[in-house]
Structure 1
């Protein structure tokens, strides 16, 4: 009996297992990285012997580790660890000063920045001359938080060969002045054109980026992620960390499919990635499709034209017949589809093509995902449940802030604005869903995201601050499920993670407060005292004695 004693027990917790068969407990026993028993303090303590490690949770809330199913872990970690963070800039002078100050601290030829807010900066106020004023003699490249916009100074344009003679690439564009000369502002896949002409980072820089990102994940209770866009470089880095025993999150990943690829080439490329990178903790399991861009730069595809004076619309980024063939082929090959949709037309086209694939290949538990779903036509909401399609939602964005009130709502009008981020309506249909961050577009910290999901208001405002579509508020239970059981299912690891159930991995977190009981406006300040990945401690807050 002694040889079967658990390696670790955690007792005196307020454990919410997220397992409906045993929803509450005081203690949990772990052996070889997995939960072996869950129950009362006395029952679990009786299983231990002198070699068993013991953690006293002090009556605090214990949950399964959270899973972020749409995060750019490696790229954002690398960006924030090797570039200037521009998230705090709220005007041109602040943006310039951050870039200017950072240029003095780096020896790299290129001055890089990440995180500028496209709700404030854009074609009306940001161009190469603005960046020249900050750093005129070195190339400057800054990437927006939304991942769909970037900007360069004149030196960077010269070094990459960007001038009036360069045509817009498929799926992207260079903003130009009235003479056709690029202004330095870059949209969508034109960003790839620029990056291909910039110096390449060494793999060590990306390894450092993952270390930075996963440490942040663990600090905030995240034990599993779905990297929302990878290529072979990403997977090489992840595998290297896994083989070194340094990976502290479970990783699923989705690889991008490009509009110009044939079905055969795209499927072959992703099948090779899936074969090559599949282990206990890392796997490529899905195909990523961008069907449109974002409202902020008018590349979101809408059913009806934009409502403001400029009007117009944006196309789907794929030939729609080709997209149908791609969806059918990837679905038949048992890839999950992970589809970026912002406008209501992009969402409808995605659902139409998923439905076509299902009619030909039959239904299977794919849990294909629509990421973002910023605007959806109400007629399409019931189709999410009917087709078993996951809404991968980022609730932090559903609040009154400039990107919503000053840009999106004027672009689409009040009638369509009612169906912007309609999370509760979708959840109450019984459709599958998951909650995520899209870091580095925004924070990866789940607790401000949860608070916004529940309040539909920004943090640190008065409680009477305008609420964005109050009828779409979620409750805490719904958001926690979106980060645990439902996220695990969406990442195709629900059989081994997502709840504290005997046989599953002992991925768990201890919180400094009961987020189910506190004032909703205090959820965002929650701190994680302890994070375990397979029973291994990957984060401990300084003040947690445990």
Structure 2
């Protein structure tokens, strides 16, 4: 961390510790030394550096409490990037360029077209042609390499495309039926495959037997995780993020990469990690046996420790019970429609025996437990177990965490609060999935869709993350203040929704620090880490419509500049 004293002045400094704004802040030895007026702090500066804020605002660095930072970077970077492709010729050119760099026979896989990871504001429908290219068009890019345009969006039916070599590589020919399981294979008027597959073709939360067999034939792209994470951290720094919590889908490979970056002194965000015991998000998924589950608990526990101010591995995560609603896996008390119109009450991927074992193990070892639960059914299972006499009193003293909570009713929120839980969620869940929940489950569930105000009013400490998007934290903050559904523009005005600006910002700063139990982050009180950002508008007073346009001029981590737009002058 920086040892050079720095005085930031001529602006508005928001400390988020309950005090009034000031015009200057003094940083020394990587910590906040004082806030106040320029003259007073300048007298304390000594041999240091002054930076004029030119009327801009200072606030604590943001804490993204569920970013999937490394996972998303590792997912996107090895692929041909089609997110901003404009037409079929553009797609062909990008794939052809990659084909020139890899040997014949090498798989070339691409991102979907549009804005990750929901693909609602922009998708392949916005291509000039309005549709994805078929195999014949992709063959113009290469006939020597199998090609796949992947499907990521959390919607089913989805769509992906193979070129001719890709079809052959996974064993698909014209003699295959038009539909296998929940995958429809598009054919032209002569009965030949077009390369376009629709239905259950997503890369995640998809357990279709046919598609799973296809996925097992695809290679896993090689990726330099430390390298892509350096770039990802720079992106997060530009957004104003100085701390991330990675509690979901974290593998040993990810942990090793973070440790390598830490050892090299290359972390530009603080990182807290909770290791996941059993991952069910990516197919193929085969539940662990109980001996395997218990062995995994023991293995992961060896990786835990207090760490230091830059990297901590302090918890274990269990994706308890079901999955999300869009593929029909969220556990619910009454039937709802799956993507293909069939009634479902969801799927239990993790047994109650494992949840009990996990809870007992974490209590016995003093481990902070994280439960990932999406909806009503998940909460009912978790709460019924933890409220049992053998667990309840001890759980109340541990400050465990519930993640996601896309759907949660009032009684469930109060029960978690009674058990001493903290809660992390994402306003983007409602923003992106609100219409899907209404269509599949009924509009009555909207009252329980990411009800942040109700959660806070219940007494829960709530932190927010970017998860699948929007990835702009200031847009997430605006959505928390004025929720709406992006697909329709419908304003989400149900009671229990819509928080104050102060509350919305708090979930990305002070509350995040409290949940992580990371002393000295989330506020700019004297003695805190000098994790701060300089933004081009006042985060407390700018309009909610203008908030997503916030630009970060400077990001500091422990007094060290990790992002500088060049706007400020010494």
Check whether TM > 0.5: yes
In 1, Cα distance between the equivalents of 2:182 and 2:75?
A: 24
Task: Say yes or no: does 1:226 pair with 2:245.
Answer: yes
The counterpart of 2:466, out of the listed 437, 446, 451, is: 437
Matches within 5 A, 1:142-541: 142-146=150-154, 153=162, 159=169, 175-176=182-183, 185-186=201-202, 188=205, 190=207, 198-202=218-222, 205-227=224-246, 228-258=248-278, 259-260=287-288, 262=290, 263-274=293-304, 278-290=307-319, 291-306=321-336, 310-356=342-388, 359=391, 362-363=394-395, 366-399=398-431, 403-405=433-435, 407-438=436-467, 441-457=468-484, 466-471=490-495, 472-493=497-518, 495-541=519-565
Tell me how far 1:131 sits from its aligned partner: 6.3
Alpha carbons of 1:512 and 1:177: their partners in 2 closer, same or farther (altered >3 Å)? closer
Quote the residue 1:166 is aligned against. none
In 1, Cα distance between the equivalents of 2:161 and 2:315?
A: 32
Tell me how far 1:161 sits from its aligned partner: 7.8
Structure 2 counterpart SS, 1:288 = strand
Alpha carbons of 1:249 and 1:369: their partners in 2 closer, same or farther (altered >3 Å)? same
Alpha carbons of 1:261 and 1:318: their partners in 2 closer, same or farther (altered >3 Å)? same
Quote the residue 1:53 is aligned against. 49
Q: Give yes or no for contact 2:426–2:464 (8 Å, CA) kept in 1.
A: yes
The counterpart of 1:8, out of the listed 6, 9, 17, is: 6
In 1, Cα distance between the equivalents of 2:437 and 2:331?
A: 13
Tell me how far 1:501 sits from its aligned partner: 2.0
In 1, Cα distance between the equivalents of 2:216 and 2:303?
A: 21
Tell me how far 1:436 sits from its aligned partner: 0.8
Task: Say yes or no: does 1:82 pair with 2:106.
Answer: no
In 2, Cα distance between the equivalents of 1:150 and 1:537?
A: 43
Structure 2 counterpart SS, 1:452 = helix
Tell me how far 1:326 sits from its aligned partner: 1.3
Alpha carbons of 1:261 and 1:334: their partners in 2 closer, same or farther (altered >3 Å)? farther
Alpha carbons of 1:184 and 1:481: their partners in 2 closer, same or farther (altered >3 Å)? closer
Tell me how far 1:52 sits from its aligned partner: 0.6
Q: Give yes or no for contact 1:75–1:209 (8 Å, CA) kept in 2.
A: no
Tell me how far 1:528 sits from its aligned partner: 0.8
The counterpart of 1:43, out of the listed 40, 46, 54, is: 40
In 1, Cα distance between the equivalents of 2:136 and 2:382?
A: 43
Alpha carbons of 1:336 and 1:266: their partners in 2 closer, same or farther (altered >3 Å)? same
Q: Give yes or no for contact 1:116–1:144 (8 Å, CA) kept in 2.
A: yes
Q: Deviations over 1:37-90 (max 9, x none)?
A: 2333222111112x312122233221110010101111212333332445568x
Tell me how far 1:237 sits from its aligned partner: 1.5
Q: Give yes or no for contact 2:363–2:394 (8 Å, CA) kept in 1.
A: no
In 1, Cα distance between the equivalents of 2:425 and 2:554?
A: 26
In 2, Cα distance between the equivalents of 1:86 and 1:331?
A: 46
Alpha carbons of 1:469 and 1:183: their partners in 2 closer, same or farther (altered >3 Å)? closer
Structure 2 counterpart SS, 1:418 = helix
Tell me how far 1:352 sits from its aligned partner: 3.0
Alpha carbons of 1:318 and 1:223: their partners in 2 closer, same or farther (altered >3 Å)? same
Tell me how far 1:24 sits from its aligned partner: 3.2
In 2, Cα distance between the equivalents of 1:260 and 1:150?
A: 31
In 2, Cα distance between the equivalents of 1:134 and 1:289?
A: 44
In 1, Cα distance between the equivalents of 2:133 and 2:530?
A: 51
* TM-score under structure 2 length normalisation: 0.79
Quote the residue 2:190 is aligned against. none
